[in-house]
Amino acid sequence: MRIAERVRALLGGDAVLEDTGSPDGVPRIAPASPDAVALLLGTARAEGWRVRVEGAGTWMQADAPADLSLTTRRLDRVPSIQPQDLTATAEAGIGCDQLRQQLADHGVWLALDPPGLAGRTLGSVVATASAGPLRHGFGPVRDHLLGVTFVTGDGRLIQSGGRVMKNVAGYDLTRMQAGGFGAFGVIVLVHLRLRALPRVDQTLILEGPREDLSRMGDDISAAGLTLAALELLSPALARRERWALAVRLAGSAPLVAAEEAGLRAATGGLFTALRADEAHAFWMRAGEAFATRPVAFRIGGLPASSDELLDLVQHQVGDEWVSASPGVGTLRWAGDATVDRLRRLRRALAVLEVPLTVERAPWPVRRAVGHFGAYREGVGPLVAGLRSTFDPGNSLAVAIESDG
């Protein structure tokens, strides 16, 4: 019996979205519940099927060699939004745009602006730990998670964390899932830490030569302002003639007013405020651009080395589609890069003790360089142990390590 027929018998006819719709003819399965994901993966383990996981199909290329493709797109419910507690529980397959809207209806906000298209799923954002410019003010993806429920490669449903603001009961497996690229299981449910919608959300922008803006970014960081985002964007990404330094302020009216005054004092009042619709379009387009190139990666350095890292990236792979958070030290790049180029860049960064994480790339590139590349001494066996613990049959088609 073909896999699609087996799955129909197992999960019902509507779980198989198409028999041959994927470019490589792999059946695409859309379980409708966490239990159905567990049933499917348990069966896959028993049958020796290799499974690739996708969300809405808008971020990671769905091209890993596999016997079936598991999409979380039918896991799109939001079982709980608790505005008075600033928490929510959402299934992993909900699109970020839909989630944002539902939260906004309750006056709350998930302070994450991941790269990618608006419909990118929550599970994808968590699995890749893709924070955007708001990381400056609100921290990495893991800081927004209270807990996750995931299904192991052999079909076990595991809860980690909880639904409350603090929780140290047991080991925090949520941290392993955030940025695990699905190597340790399929995320099905996410418990989120929210914030009240900011009363004021203001974006200011300054264009100019990269060197001048970098220096200004350092000055702004040193001033200790309370910013939601401080981002340096390449002209293509900012859709401007020159590089752009963008500042986002979010919070109460007095706070935003004070920080805007502080910003102008620190920079000589050069920034221009965007209208709300302009600001929305500016950030959205910048984020979307990362999904339109075949390769995207992030690197995590130190704030003081932000400019040096930009130089290095420019030298190795160019700087057409790049943004940097000088206050955090992170940098995100998109474009077309060969395996050799990526390896060379990773080596150069390793000398500076800076990790490079491949966020999206065609399978041959992912397989060759891995999301993480090689590990530092002693870490590889730990990750291998965790992988085989949570995916004992090696059912999940994920390339987190380099193959050479």
Partner 1 sequence: MIDRALVDALTQIVGRTHTRTAAAERATYAMDGLTTHTRVPGVVVLPGSRDEVIAIIRLLASHGVPFVPRGAGTGLSGGALASEGAVLIVLTRLNRILTIDPANRFAVVEPGVVNVKLSAAVAPHGLLYAPDPSSQTACTIGGNVAENAGGPHCLKYGATVNNVLALEVVLGDGQVVQLGSPGGEPWGPDLVGLFTGSEGNFGVATRIAVRLLPVPQAVRTLLADFTSLRTAGEAVSAVIASGIVPAALEMMDQSCIGAVEDSVYAAGYPRDAAAVLLTELDGRDETAVQAEAESVDAILKTHGARSVRTAADAGERARLWQGRKKAFGAMGRLSRDLVVQDAVVPRSTLPGVLEAIGEIAARYGLRVSNVFHAGDGNLHPNISFDSRIPGLTERVEAASAEIMAACIAVGGTITGEHGIGLDKLRYMPHIFDGDSLAAMHAVRRVFDPAERVNPGKVIPMHACREWAGIPGVRSVERGMRNGNHSALRTSHSALES
Q: Is 388 in the site for partner 1 (CB under 8 A)?
A: yes
Q: Is 308 in the site for partner 1 (CB under 8 A)?
A: no
Q: Is 381 in the site for partner 1 (CB under 8 A)?
A: yes
Instruction: Write out the two tokens for 352.
Output: 């500076």
Considering only residues 20 to 79 of the shown chain, the ones binding partner 1 according to CB under 8 A are none
Spatial distance between the Cα atoms of 63 and 66, rounded to a whole number of angstroms? 8
Which of 157, 188, 229, 244 is close enough to bind partner 1 by CB under 8 A?
157
Q: Is 82 in the site for partner 1 (CB under 8 A)?
A: yes
Q: Is 374 in the site for partner 1 (CB under 8 A)?
A: yes
Spatial distance between the Cα atoms of 322 and 238, rounded to a whole number of angstroms? 10
Contact 149, 157 (CB under 8 A): yes
First to last CA, the chain: 37
Cα-flanking dihedrals φ and ψ of residue 187, to 5°? -70, 130
Q: Is 86 in the site for partner 1 (CB under 8 A)?
A: yes
With CB under 8 A as the contact rule, which of the stretches 10-18, 96-104, 170-178, 274-282 interacts with partner 1? 170-178
Q: Which of 181/282 has CB closer to partner 1?
A: 181
Q: Is 348 in the site for partner 1 (CB under 8 A)?
A: no
Is the sign of the CA dihedral 260, 193, 90, 27 positive or negative? positive
Q: Which of 4/227 has CB closer to partner 1?
A: 227
Spatial distance between the Cα atoms of 107 and 248, rounded to a whole number of angstroms? 20
Q: Is 272 in the site for partner 1 (CB under 8 A)?
A: no
Q: Is 259 in the site for partner 1 (CB under 8 A)?
A: yes
CB of 312 to partner 1, least distance (A): 14
Number of residues that bind partner 1 (CB under 8 A): 96
Cα-flanking dihedrals φ and ψ of residue 332, to 5°? -125, 140
- Could you tell me which residues are beta bridge partners of residue 281? none
Spatial distance between the Cα atoms of 182 and 37, rounded to a whole number of angstroms? 14
**β-pair type (272-273, 243-251):** unpaired
CB of 8 to partner 1, least distance (A): 27
Sheet of 80-82, strand order:
80-82, 87-91, 186-193, 145-151, 157-161
Q: Which of 179/335 has CB closer to partner 1?
A: 179
Contact 132, 146 (CB under 8 A): no
CB of 263 to partner 1, least distance (A): 11
CB of 227 to partner 1, least distance (A): 10
Q: Cα 248–251–257 angle (5° rounding)?
A: 75
In the block, tokens 């401080």 appear at 230
Q: Which of 9/261 has CB closer to partner 1?
A: 261
Cα-flanking dihedrals φ and ψ of residue 359, to 5°? -90, -35
Which of 34, 115, 123, 179 is close enough to bind partner 1 by CB under 8 A?
179
CB of 66 to partner 1, least distance (A): 21
- Could you tell me which residues are beta bridge partners of residue 150? 158, 187
Which of 173, 216, 274, 361 is close enough to bind partner 1 by CB under 8 A?
173
Considering only residues 225 to 244 of the shown chain, the ones binding partner 1 according to CB under 8 A are 225-226
Q: Is 200 in the site for partner 1 (CB under 8 A)?
A: no
Which of 78, 102, 140, 291 is close enough to bind partner 1 by CB under 8 A?
140
Q: Is 400 in the site for partner 1 (CB under 8 A)?
A: yes
Spatial distance between the Cα atoms of 75 and 126, rounded to a whole number of angstroms? 15
Q: Is 338 in the site for partner 1 (CB under 8 A)?
A: no
CB of 128 to partner 1, least distance (A): 12
Contact 44, 10 (CB under 8 A): no
Q: Is 169 in the site for partner 1 (CB under 8 A)?
A: yes
